[in-house]
Amino acid sequence: MLKEFKEFLLRGKVVDLAVGVIIGAAFGAIMTALVTDFLTPLIAAVVKVQDFSGIFFTINGSKFMLGHFINALISFILVASALFFFVVKPMNVLIERSHVEPPTDPTTKKCKECLSEIPITAKRCAFCTQITSE
């Protein structure tokens, strides 16, 4: 059982997935920091609010952190945009460039006598009337 578990962990896809998740989390943290430390203060300076992330409203004593939600939304949009433009789009271009059409099943065959193209299901050549072999 331990041997199977070791084989499972050492498969390339499991390790690649783990690395991708870790890199994704780190990238998300960088984008969140960019939003909260740079973009939000910039937006706050334009709308003349000192701490954009501190914007909130209350209803019946419940505090709704509107600024924090906007930070998370901007962060999500930036991460999704970066992922699309720097990972998905280039991969689609590479796949499109390397795309090779799969071979199609032949629909015709050559007659052994006159070398004419005839349908693959034909039993006789339409040109020389020779019986074709299957």
10-28 per-position pLDDT tens digit: 776 777 788 788 988 888 8
pLDDT given for residue 51 in this prediction: 64
What CATH code is assigned to 2-98? 1.10.1200.120
Quick one: tokens of 39? 């973009």
Q: How far apart are the first and last CA of the chain?
A: 53
Give the burial class of 44: count Cβ atoms within 10 A of its Cβ; 0-12 exposed, 13-18 middle, 19 or more buried: middle
**Domain ranges across the chain:** 2-98, 104-134
pLDDT given for residue 60 in this prediction: 93
26-79 per-position pLDDT tens digit: 888 888 788 778 877 777 777 776 666 778 889 999 999 888 888 788 878 877
Q: Which residues pair with 98 in a beta bridge?
A: none
pLDDT given for residue 50 in this prediction: 65
